[in-house]
Amino acid sequence: MPLDRTGAVLVARPRLPAAVLGPAIFVLALNLRMGISSVGPVLPQVVHDLDVTLVYASLLTTVPVVMMGVASPLSARLGAKFGLERTVIGAIVIVGAATAVRYWATSPITLLVSAALLGCGIAAGNTMLPAVVRRYFPAHGALLTGIYAVGINIGAGLAAFGTPRLAQSLSSTWRGALAIWAAMAVVALLLWLLVATRAPRQPLAIRVAMPRRTRQAWIAACLFGLQSMVYYGILAWLAPLYEERGWSKVQAGLLLSFFTAMQVVGALTASLLVQRSGRLVEGLRLTAAVSALSLVLVALSPLSLPWLWIALLGVGAGGIFPLTLTVPLATTSSVEEASSLTASMLFYGYLLGATGPFAVSLLRSMSGGFALPFVVLAILALAALAVAAPAANRPSFRSTGRSRRSRTEQ
């Protein structure tokens, strides 16, 4: 069986049908944001029923993102020790269990433990994705990464849309509405058990890339962290902002799901345009500027044209995410360097991004409203615009990608 050597991974290339692997990757992605996006629409109920503060409420989004950064290096080591498929299955089990336990969440500590476990499971899923794609689809990395990104946004949108409706239907509570998304983890588990049973028992050697501390690594991590702070701040507090303005939980949840839907549009559009033009820096600046403008509009005039503001916000936030993930490919000259830079970008970036929801809650408590926090998020988006050039102002990632493929083929 031929070997596929790619700097970070050395495996025998298995033959499994795309009809199994494609849906397995997509359903895995569906699970990796549901547990976070489902909280926002029912957050006021959680605060009321558990008699907690807004600062505590922000931790339900902050803690998973912290663990997504902290647990990433450990997840890579687990993948090297137990194998790719087993690690993915473990990630799904953790995500499902952390989601299901919310049904019995009668104390604040239970929800926090659930949030921490959820972040660990998401970290394992995030970390294993490049190895999954590289092992099974070495010639279609961009396509499968796109499917994964779309799955993440669709999963977040479904949870944001469905949770408030489930909380109101059949006399259900927010606990049941949060826990029901564990059913999607069961679907993913069944698919990955099928993948695991059909995959060859071939050792997987993953070279764990430790976070780098170069200037380029810090700038890339800063860019990723800034866009993460904006995204998770929006994800946690957009629905409560509109509920505070008189919208129902269902209406606010629908708006949040519309935001995630527009992220899909933004991600696909930005990726396609930058891929064709090679203008990564301009793409980063444009998406950051659109995010900043729409955040100011939401902060200062949220009820004038809310659907238009959120459409712009979704396009901006959705577009900058895949472009930021492209930075390691555009600024490195080998697969190993790209892997190392990606590891440090995610590790430090998620830790920085985790402060977004907490910062919004703190500013909300200090100012008595959401105008100031969302203006601050706009400033953070402008800061991302400012670091876009030093983070990605290198030769076009299209030419970089072509040269890298040429070296790999030699």
Which residues pair with residue 400 across a beta bridge? Answer: none
pLDDT per residue as tens digits for the range 58-102: 888 889 988 988 887 787 778 778 878 888 999 999 999 999 999
- Token pair listed for 240: 């409560």
- Boundary-marking domain end, from 168, 192, 208: 208
Q: Are residues 15 and 47 in the same domain?
A: yes
Q: Are residues 199 and 312 in the same domain?
A: no
User: What does DSSP say about strands 3-6 and 205-206: parallel, antiparallel, or unpaired?
Assistant: unpaired
CA geometry: angle 17, 24, 354, nearest 5 deg: 145
Q: Are residues 197 and 225 in the same domain?
A: no
For residues 355 and 229, the answer to whether their CB atoms sit within 8 Å is: yes
d(CA 275, CA 401): 11
Q: Are residues 241 and 188 in the same domain?
A: no
d(CA 323, CA 335): 18
Total domains in the chain come to 2
- Boundary-marking domain end, from 208, 233, 260: 208
Q: Are residues 216 and 204 in the same domain?
A: no
Q: Are residues 182 and 105 in the same domain?
A: yes
Which residues pair with residue 363 across a beta bridge? Answer: none
CA geometry: angle 202, 206, 208, nearest 5 deg: 165
pLDDT for residue 338: 61
pLDDT for residue 236: 84
For residues 65 and 353, the answer to whether their CB atoms sit within 8 Å is: yes
pLDDT for residue 8: 40
- Token pair listed for 273: 């345009």
pLDDT for residue 389: 79
d(CA 127, CA 87): 10
Q: State pTM to two decimals.
A: 0.74
d(CA 370, CA 316): 20
pLDDT for residue 104: 92
- Token pair listed for 224: 């990723």
d(CA 89, CA 275): 33
Q: Are residues 114 and 228 in the same domain?
A: no
> Could you give the 3-state DSSP secondary structure of residue 302?
coil
- How big is the chain by its Cα radius of gyration, in Å? 20
For residues 116 and 63, the answer to whether their CB atoms sit within 8 Å is: yes
pLDDT for residue 280: 84
Q: Find the helix or strand (DSSP H, E) in which 10 lies.
A: strand 9-12
* C-alpha distances out from residue 164 to 174, 176, 394, Å: 8, 11, 45
CATH of the domain at 1: 1.20.1250.20
pLDDT for residue 401: 41
Q: Where are the alpha helices (DSSP H) in 301-370?
A: 306-330, 335-353, 355-367
Q: How many CB atoms lie within 10 A of CB 340?
A: 23
Ranges of the chain whose pLDDT falls below 50: 1-13, 203-204, 395-410
pLDDT for residue 410: 34
- Domain range spanning residue 384? 212-410
Output phi, psi for 201, to 5 deg.
-80, 75
Q: Find the helix or strand (DSSP H, E) in which 2 lies.
A: none
Q: Are residues 98 and 127 in the same domain?
A: yes
pLDDT for residue 151: 85
Q: Are residues 74 and 136 in the same domain?
A: yes
- Token pair listed for 58: 């922000």
- Boundary-marking domain end, from 208, 242, 259: 208
Q: Are residues 309 and 194 in the same domain?
A: no
CA-CA-CA-CA torsion sign (37, 40, 41, 43): positive
DSSP for 184-201, written as a single string: HHHHHHHHHHHHHHHS--
> Could you give the 3-state DSSP secondary structure of residue 292?
helix
pLDDT for residue 383: 94
* C-alpha distances out from residue 338 to 6, 283, 375, Å: 11, 20, 34
For residues 236 and 58, the answer to whether their CB atoms sit within 8 Å is: yes
d(CA 212, CA 193): 35
Q: Are residues 195 and 275 in the same domain?
A: no
pLDDT for residue 397: 40
d(CA 338, CA 395): 15
d(CA 121, CA 271): 27
Q: Are residues 28 and 61 in the same domain?
A: yes
Helices 306-330 + 280-300 axis angle, to 10: 150
Output phi, psi for 354, to 5 deg.
-65, -20
3-state secondary structure 112-126: HHHHHHHHHHHHHHH
